[in-house]
Amino acid sequence: MTDSSEGQQPASRRREWMAFLFLTLIVLPALAVAFVGGYGFVVWMSHVINGPPTAGY
């Protein structure tokens, strides 16, 4: 790969758009869901170990 020139601009443009869409539409949503799910799983496991949560009653 060489430095970008006038002729290679469309390929670079396409690559950047693909990366942008892949990141915002697939990778980051999947990470967010995995993060929240992982948090829920940890809380669940803490309930298994420490018993169900208590409330202010």
Contact positions vs another protein (CB under 8 A): 4, 9, 12-13, 15-17, 19-20, 22-25, 28-29, 32-33, 36-37, 39-41, 43-44, 47, 51-57
Taking the complex as a whole, how short is the minimal distance between the CB of residue 41 and another protein, in angstroms? 5
CA distances from residue 13 to 32, 37, 57 in whole angstroms, order as listed: 27, 35, 59
Q: What is d(CA 15, CA 9) in angstroms, rounded to the nearest whole number?
A: 10
Find out whether 43 and 35 touch, Cβ atoms under 8 Å.
no
Measured from the CB atom, is 7 or 56 closer to another protein?
56
Measured from the CB atom, is 2 or 54 closer to another protein?
54
